[in-house]
Structure 1
Amino acid sequence: MLYTIVVCDHIHQNGLKLLQTNSQINYVYAADIDKTALLDVIKDADVCITRSSTDVDTKFLDAAKKLKAVVRAGVGVDNVDLNECSKRGVIAMNVPTANTIAAVELTMAHMLSCARKFPYAHNQLKNDRIWKREDWYGTELYGKKLGVIGFGNIGSRVGIRSKAFGMDVITYDPYINPSKATDVGVTYTKNFDDILACDIITIHTPKNSETTNMIDADKIAKMKDGVVLINCARGGLYNEEALVEGLKSGKIAMAGIDVFSKEPATNHPILDLPNVTVTAHLGANTLESQEKIAIQAAENAIEAALGASYPNALNLPIDETKIPSFVKPYLELTQKMAYLLSQTDKSAIKSIKIEASGDIADYLDSIETFATVGGLKLSLAEQINYINALFVAKERDIEVSSTKTANTSGYKNKLTIKLTTQNGVYSVSGTIFDEEVQRIVEINGFSLDIEPSGHMILFSNSDVPGVIGEVGKLLGDNNINIADFRLGRNKSGALAVIVVDEEVNSDIIAKLAQLKAARSVAYVNV
């Protein structure tokens, strides 16, 4: 039987060769046709390979009636509608590690270019034919303090290479075991201000609600005068308006930028500034990287077409024949509950433990996977998926376990997740009503009943009069509308779960934490 794989965008020739020479694959090359014509070509596709030029959206999926999987040849999946893929049972996969070295080396190139102003010195001699050595006194990397935000595959390698330049390297990453940094001679800090005090700062995090605008005007104001900022990760991790203002004022001496919030960024105001080095999202643009990406994408597509495996799957299609219908909402609830807990204490996770009672306890293997994805989603974003979740947990020394317990709760089925971090143990329990209605019924020992959805403030306090009024007034004074308010009480105090209509910034959370009765305050978005 032949399986059809359509290549929608340009990839390296060596990846195409794998498809062309496989006797079980009907290879269709469609990278050079317009996107409207592509919709007709993909109607018989079993698997498609895309890059950033093709949007895998509702229109695309409507046309690809037979599609089993889509492979994004690269890391980012901004152009793939993962929710729509999941609804249709289409597996979405990416190639997350093939461009690691390329991105690391581009970061080092920007760092060196900022230190020595190579692009400007080059332009003066090459294009203007002016020889003025006195214009180009740079600085050395040797002896400088480098702050690395995010110490994953790329950030850790940047740190190691920077150590070879004689730099003093410090990293901030609350989601790793500190030994990952200290074992390679890098200082680990839990205090973000330590990063802001560095001479050079480079960021290597996924882009999510926590990291978007992570470096803003307030953070820049705390930095050293003459700091150098590097971003070869994702556009928008640095607030771009604040970045431009900092460069104009001289607070930021130089910036090396490869990524922008909106691309192509041919009219971005940063391009008018004299103290930047810029590239057009070239993090993966090496011949070696492109070859690796193409080969891995082709291999993944072949595996998916044959149904053998789904490497780096980012979603999990629902197989009606293997999972009873009542299980599916519990899997989604599991992931949400673990994600909620991970936001209450943003530090390295030591263990994820699941307790299940009722018929749902027969599906603990699947539940473990969903709990792990939810627990690590905040720190790893698209790097964590249903295929690699348990492997990644083991790699990070995170113990994942599950237990079937006696059903004494009064609920037909009940799930409890216990998350142990460096700071303590946190728990949440939930169930499903009327087959699809998701409910959290307990958080950290406090009984309550709330839907796990939206912007939520978890406010723990001593059980004294006037607290609800103080909280309501503070939120009202800041134009935050309360959509739902649920209160749990026990002998130790009270826990309020406050659902609000708008996002809540860190200043408001800090003000809530300063209320006299407050014990802890966390803001989560489920």
Structure 2
Amino acid sequence: MPRPVVLVAEPLHADALAALGDAEIRVLDGDDRAALLAAVPDATALLAGPHTVVDAELLAAAPLLKVVARAGVRLASIDVAAATQAGVLVVNAPASHDVSLAELAVGRVLAGARQVGIELDGRVAGVVGIGRVGALVAQRLAALGMAVIAHDPDTRPGRAARLGIRLTDLDTLLAEADVVSIHLPVEPVARPGQVLVAVEREYDEETAPVQAHRKAGLAVAGSVRLALAGELVPDAVNLQVGRVADEIRPGLPLAEKLGRILAALAGGVARRLDVLVRGEITEHDVRILEVAALTGFLSEVVEERVSYVNAPVLAAAREVTVRLLTDPESPDYRNLVGLRATLADGTAISVAGTLIGLAQRERLVELNGFQVDLEPTEHLAFLTYDDRPGVIGTVGRILGEAGINIAGMQVSRTGSDGHQQSQQLIAVCVDSAVPPDTLSAIAAAVAASSARAVDLR
């Protein structure tokens, strides 16, 4: 298997390059547009420089590209919307420069205090915005003997109290504080004798300390490796699914498979897709399961490359309504993921699955109202027909004549009231894909009302 190609278009710390693993590293000048366009067709990942333009033209020239990364905070040269449309993850290192920014702010405060002739001990520090950087600044100013007050409309009083900070409104802060460090988009004017700093506006990532560059490089290298391995990169800037709990992650491949099976059963794009999540996992944010199921479904019915990033965009473009439903109660299983597709003619198709045991083994437990207990292996076939003798033998014979080995088979049927013939489902796990002509021959031989093959490779 060929190694993934990673284009490195900005200087990276040696530790970050090593953290990319066994990928093939190709270094180039990110500002050389012609060289970049010539190189991206082979690239699986691109580590863009601060001035590397990543736009729709470049993305169209990169059919293998999975992720664009920036070893820094700013993404001004990356068209995130175009990357989202193309299904390409965009990652950066938002926290990598936090300490450097905080130290720069404190340095500016110390210098400003000398200029206006004051000592900081016993004075009041006002911090506008106590996110990651603002909180670090507040801690450092408090260590200098300052009383810290803050204004941040997005911070709850409890968090501020844990940081030892008194929250107040902006006008009060500006009136009381001897020094002010700004970390929100506001532009107050300093009064005479007051020190006011806003380091985010002047900070240059390219001249940051070596430690900050190392942290940024290691952070994005980790994200790139996850993307190259086909794993979830939850902190991608264009993947809006909230925090992904550890309890949710094992269910993502199952949700994708359920989506692909549902698409095979539906035979086309649905008008609506409902994703029902039941059980204990509903205590967590399960939006990522909705995205996983949608990704699996669309990957079987659209020509574009589908990923967690662009699946919602592609669904919206096709006017597919997607709903996430949750229920903490799950009568039969600890947790359950169920999908229901409503087609244009009103027909409803459904599948459901769960994870069982300590090994979290995937099981398919429902198909269109039929109860099953089946591992979703690479090659599956499903047949629905009127219940009668001899069908199982016919299915086995035709598959055998085609050289297709049956790894497992399960039969399920709806109940009969004695007056109406029941429907029966055969679910078959086979060692190789079932060709369309073989599936058609089986369907004709058993008078199947529905025959579908699924390839989950």
Aligned length: 276
1:11 equivalent in alignment to 2:12: yes
The aligned residue for residue 163 of structure 1 is 142
In structure 2, distance between residues paired with 1:285 and 1:169? 27
Alignment of 1:436-475 (within 5 A): none
Amino acid at match of 2:71: A
In structure 2, distance between residues paired with 1:317 and 1:167? 38
The aligned residue for residue 408 of structure 2 is none
1:194 equivalent in alignment to 2:160: no
Alignment of 1:252-271 (within 5 A): 258-259=202-203
Amino acid at match of 1:58: A
Note the C-alpha offset of 1:33. 6.7
Amino acid at match of 2:11: H
Tell me the TM-score normalized by structure 2: 0.53
String of CA shifts for 1:303-341, please: whole Å, max 9, x gaps.
Answer: 2112133252111399998769x99xxxxxxxxxxxxxx
1:138 equivalent in alignment to 2:117: yes
Deviation >4 Å, runs of 4+:
317-324, 363-368, 401-405
String of CA shifts for 1:108-145, please: whole Å, max 9, x gaps.
Answer: 1111122224xxxxxxxxxxxxxxxxxxx732222322
The aligned residue for residue 197 of structure 2 is 230
RMSD: 4.0
Alignment of 1:79-478 (within 5 A): 79-117=77-115, 138-189=117-168, 191-197=169-175, 198-205=177-184, 211=185, 214-215=186-187, 219-220=188-189, 224-233=191-200, 235=201, 258-259=202-203, 281-282=204-205, 285-316=208-239, 360=274, 362=276, 369=287, 403=326
- List alignment gaps of at least 5 residues for structure 1: 118-136, 206-210, 236-257, 260-280, 328-357, 371-385, 388-400, 406-433, 435-526
In structure 2, distance between residues paired with 1:168 and 1:283? 33
Contact in 2 for aligned 1:303/1:310 (Cα 8 Å): yes
String of CA shifts for 1:44-90, please: whole Å, max 9, x gaps.
Answer: 10011113121221222122221111111112222221111111100
In structure 1, distance between residues paired with 2:18 and 2:218? 9
Contact in 2 for aligned 1:8/1:29 (Cα 8 Å): yes
The aligned residue for residue 30 of structure 1 is 28
Note the C-alpha offset of 1:181. 1.9
Amino acid at match of 2:151: Y
Note the C-alpha offset of 1:184. 2.8
Contact in 1 for aligned 2:124/2:179 (Cα 8 Å): yes
Contact in 2 for aligned 1:146/1:201 (Cα 8 Å): yes
Amino acid at match of 1:145: V
Contact in 2 for aligned 1:150/1:171 (Cα 8 Å): yes
Note the C-alpha offset of 1:148. 0.8
Structure of higher CA gyration radius: 2
In structure 2, distance between residues paired with 1:367 and 1:360? 17
**Matched residue of 2:40: which SS?**
helix
Contact in 2 for aligned 1:106/1:283 (Cα 8 Å): no
In structure 2, distance between residues paired with 1:41 and 1:195? 52
**Matched residue of 2:274: which SS?**
helix
String of CA shifts for 1:479-498, please: whole Å, max 9, x gaps.
Answer: xxxxxxxxxxxxxxxxxxxx
Amino acid at match of 2:16: G
Amino acid at match of 1:204: H
Note the C-alpha offset of 1:91. 0.8
Check 1:81–1:177 CA distance in 2 against 1; reply closer, same or farther (3 A cut).
same
In structure 1, distance between residues paired with 2:16 and 2:132? 24
Check 1:164–1:31 CA distance in 2 against 1; reply closer, same or farther (3 A cut).
same
In structure 1, distance between residues paired with 2:54 and 2:183? 26
Check 1:184–1:73 CA distance in 2 against 1; reply closer, same or farther (3 A cut).
same
Check 1:227–1:402 CA distance in 2 against 1; reply closer, same or farther (3 A cut).
farther
In structure 1, distance between residues paired with 2:46 and 2:92? 12
Check 1:359–1:30 CA distance in 2 against 1; reply closer, same or farther (3 A cut).
closer
In structure 2, distance between residues paired with 1:146 and 1:284? 28
String of CA shifts for 1:229-259, please: whole Å, max 9, x gaps.
Answer: 21122x3xxxxxxxxxxxxxxxxxxxxxx25
In structure 1, distance between residues paired with 2:286 and 2:9? 35
- List alignment gaps of at least 5 residues for structure 2: 242-254, 264-271, 289-307, 310-323, 329-343, 345-457
Contact in 2 for aligned 1:7/1:50 (Cα 8 Å): yes
Note the C-alpha offset of 1:286. 1.0
Tell me the TM-score normalized by structure 1: 0.46
**Matched residue of 1:295: which SS?**
helix
Check 1:171–1:138 CA distance in 2 against 1; reply closer, same or farther (3 A cut).
same
In structure 2, distance between residues paired with 1:99 and 1:70? 19
Amino acid at match of 1:227: Q
Check 1:100–1:108 CA distance in 2 against 1; reply closer, same or farther (3 A cut).
same
In structure 2, distance between residues paired with 1:297 and 1:98? 10
Check 1:282–1:304 CA distance in 2 against 1; reply closer, same or farther (3 A cut).
closer
Check 1:7–1:283 CA distance in 2 against 1; reply closer, same or farther (3 A cut).
closer
String of CA shifts for 1:235-290, please: whole Å, max 9, x gaps.
Answer: 3xxxxxxxxxxxxxxxxxxxxxx25xxxxxxxxxxxxxxxxxxxxx2597111111
The aligned residue for residue 49 of structure 2 is 51
Check 1:402–1:145 CA distance in 2 against 1; reply closer, same or farther (3 A cut).
farther
Contact in 2 for aligned 1:142/1:166 (Cα 8 Å): yes
In structure 1, distance between residues paired with 2:39 and 2:68? 15
The aligned residue for residue 351 of structure 2 is none
